[in-house]
Amino acid sequence: MSFSWAKAYEPKHPLMRWLDQRLPLPRLVYGAVGGGYPVPRNLNYWWNFGVLAGLALTIQIVTGIVLAMHYVASGDLAFQSVEHIMRDVNEGWLLRYVHANGASFFFIVTYIHIFRGIYFGSYKAPRELVWMLGLVILLLMMATAFMGYVLPWGQMSFWGAKVITGLFSAIPVVGTSVQQWLLGGYAPDQATLNRFFSLHYLLPFVIAGVVILHIWALHIPGSSNPTGVEVQSEQDTVPFHPFYTAKDGWFASLCITLFALVTFYAPNYLGHADNYIPANPLSTPAHIVPEWYFWPFYAILRAFTSDFLLPAKLWGVIAMFSAIILLFFLPWLDPSPVRSGNYRPTFKWFFWILVVDVIVLGFCGGRPAEEPWVMISQVATMYYFAHFLIVLPIISWTEKTLPLPSSITASVLHGEAAEAAPIDMSGQRPATAH
Amino acid sequence: MATVEHSNGAHSAGVEDGVRRRDFINIAAVSAAGVAGLATLYPLLNQMNPSADVLALASTEIDISAIKPGQAVKTIFRKQPLFVRHLTPQEIQAANQVPLSELRDPQSLAERTKPGKAQWLVTMGVCTHLGCVPLGAGEGENRGPFGGYFCPCHGSAYDTAARIRRGPAPKNLEVPDYSFKSDTVITVGKAA
Ligand code: HEM
Ligand code: FES
């Protein structure tokens, strides 16, 4: 695959040789996640989250398929069928709690994975498409989770469906028709529930497909690493198996243990009590909020309260979608040739300010639409956009970056200070990020 | 192959004007497939629009005789909440005192009620922001800073004519099609 020294697959068993000649599936697996995929030797734990996201997707698909064996997508029966899963179906409570908390676990892991990419500059050439496919996965996950949350047909399900499809009514001229097209009626009802179930079943498999593209694109240049210096020779890498299968394996066990603790001891901690009340089209819960993983975006949506050229409502919707669309342009908003935040002293500060900013947005998004939360959301929203559109381009031009190690191996074996000297007498060239 | 034949013989009329019969067939076939593709897409997308039973406008009759001045009721029209409010003279006056130029969605109370029935305000109970049910129709509910309705979802405040006054909602609460069947009964929706 990516490097000339990658080991080729050599079937040991005659059966595998027979199979490999007819359908080289074992070869594909060996080259993708086996001994045939060389990986930088210096990856830290932030590089474990991609595999964890794959694990979370698997958990959702497996538990989802068995839940669908008991769930009924009908306005009259959906709520009841979920209660039936909780009380009567053998281990149904477990399957449902794993699926509901699994969605949260999936988002935690994915958000960490994304911030890893932002800090270490993983979005930069030649990995722009890896980054953009990742964002497509994020958008699909959001659509999937939103529609899944509607399925139990509780109060939050119903009003969530109404408010989120209401976002589309902000589109000038055709907005109301679009909303009615999405809902199949004037308000969420049977037609809505049925189509959401159909799509909630479909999208995870679409996600799985995009994940394959994401990994395919990644395996062309191979993984980046904490120094951001590209792999130069065989000594910079180790084979994925057994090195990273072992590291990913033990770390996944740790994370599954933490996940199990939440699922068994606080299964409703991340949910809303209101969703245990059946949907009532005549009464809005006093405080409707989406699930926590949408809070930062919800805060941005609500930050626009007065009209300026366009109605406030449209601004909110535009800003909310732009918050993600913007990330597609990140590879070009940050043209600094140094990838890793470890060698970018100014960038590093602003990275952490961004993290705090997003957490503040998340916090405000979970509060009622009252002061001081609205005002704080406004400031934090402004900073969010300023970070990407103003701060980042400026620091990438003005910042004095630290010297890079000459190679991954050098940074691992000798400490980075010694290796940081510019071109020396032996003619050894320090590596740059290009 | 046709291509080879044509390239060395200039006797075919098609070649002289630069268009071969095969090019024409190609373009025609691809265009036909494109049109057919679009035509196939249409039912696949249009099936998601509200179906005939949902569209069938059930009209609703509402007896308003029991609603006292200052009170309101919440009922259902097209599966959505509908507010019927009996305004007090003070509320009517408050609504009429607001200059239209101050409004985000300028409409007078008279335009939002039936002639001679300014005390009866009939609106959808659907916030024009993102569709929550505003508070203020039920007894003791928060009517917000302008004494009409208040939407708790993102804080939109409506006045006594249910016009948007503050918050993110762009429009006044919608006034549906309705008519007075008698002094005490209204028919909402297009009567059959
Ligand atoms: C991307 C992966 C997925 C995510 C993020 C996801 C998310 C969710 C969420 C948040 C809920 C609401 C949980 C609750 O409050 O009860 C839900 C419910 C549901 N999901 Fe999924 N899901 C995924 C994959 C699947 C798959 C592949 C199926 C298979 C058909 C499925 C079937 C269901 C069913 C039947 C329900 C309703 C039962 C319930 O409420 O627990 N899901 N999903
Ligand atoms: S839905 Fe009423 S203010 Fe947002």
A104-155 pLDDT, tens digit per residue, is: 999 999 999 999 999 999 999 999 999 999 999 999 999 999 999 999 999 9
Residues in chain B: 192
Catalytic-labelled residue, pool A20, A230, A236, A291:
A291
Share of chain A above pLDDT 70, in %: 95
Contact (CB, 8 A) for A94 and A100: no
Determine, yes or no, domain membership for A18. Answer: no
CATH number (domain holding residue A371): 1.20.810.10
Which conformational region is residue A356 in: left (phi greater than 0), alpha (psi within -120 to 50 degrees), or beta?
alpha
What was the pLDDT predicted at B2? 45
Determine, yes or no, domain membership for A237. Answer: yes
pLDDT at residue A418 above 70? no
Give the strand order in the sheet containing B80-86: B72-77, B80-86, B120-124
Confidence of residue B16 (pLDDT cuts 50, 70, 90): low
Q: Is the dihedral of CA B43, B45, B47, B49 positive or negative?
A: negative
Identify the CA nearest to A148 among candidates A51, A210, A52, A78: A78
Contact (CB, 8 A) for A85 and A284: no
The three-point CA angle A242-A248-A254 to 5° equals: 135
Domain with A124 in it: 40-433
Contact (CB, 8 A) for B124 and B148: no
Determine, yes or no, domain membership for A171. Answer: yes
Which residue has its alpha carbon closest to ligand 2 atom 1?
B130
Contact (CB, 8 A) for A78 and A39: no
B161-192 pLDDT, tens digit per residue, is: 999 998 888 899 999 989 998 888 999 887 54
Least confident window among A141-155, A164-178, A249-263, B50-64: B50-64
Of B79, B104, B133, Cβ closest to residue A186: B79
Residues of B in contact with A302 (CB under 8 A): 154, 168
Confidence of residue A103 (pLDDT cuts 50, 70, 90): very high
What was the pLDDT predicted at B78? 82
Contact B74 A162 (CB under 8 A): no
A218-234 pLDDT, tens digit per residue, is: 999 999 999 999 999 99
Contact (CB, 8 A) for A232 and A405: no
What was the pLDDT predicted at B140? 84
Determine, yes or no, domain membership for A20. Answer: no
Residues of B in contact with A294 (CB under 8 A): none
**Average pLDDT, stretch A187-195?**
94
What was the pLDDT predicted at A434? 40
Identify the CA nearest to A74 among candidates A278, A244, A308, A356: A278
Identify the CA nearest to B136 among candidates B110, B165, B162: B162
Pairs across A and B, CB distance < 8 A: 90
Query: How far is residue B56 CA from its own chain's centroid?
Result: 16
Residue in the block written with tokens 């630069």: B18
Least confident window among A89-98, A257-266, A358-367, B143-152: B143-152
| pTM for the model | 0.85
The nearest alpha carbon in chain A to B141 belongs to A286
A28-78 pLDDT, tens digit per residue, is: 999 999 999 999 999 999 999 999 999 999 999 999 999 999 999 999 999
DSSP bridge pairs for A239: A38
Determine, yes or no, domain membership for A29. Answer: no
**SS3 state of residue A40:** strand
What was the pLDDT predicted at A433? 41
Rounded-to-integer distance, Cα A291 and Cα A311, Å: 26
B90-139 pLDDT, tens digit per residue, is: 999 999 999 998 898 999 999 999 998 889 999 999 999 888 899 998 88
Rounded-to-integer distance, Cα B151 and Cα A405, Å: 58
**SS3 state of residue B166:** strand
pLDDT at residue B57 above 80? no
Confidence of residue B58 (pLDDT cuts 50, 70, 90): low
The nearest alpha carbon in chain B to A373 belongs to B154
**Average pLDDT, stretch A281-303?**
90
Confidence of residue A420 (pLDDT cuts 50, 70, 90): low
Determine, yes or no, domain membership for A409. Answer: yes
Q: How many domains are contained in chain A?
A: 1
**Average pLDDT, stretch A192-202?**
97
What was the pLDDT predicted at B4? 47
Rounded-to-integer distance, Cα B161 and Cα B123, Å: 9
Taking CA atoms, B16 is separated from A54, A73, B8, B11, B20, in Å, by: 60, 64, 12, 8, 9
pLDDT at residue B67 above 50? yes
The three-point CA angle A4-A6-A10 to 5° equals: 125
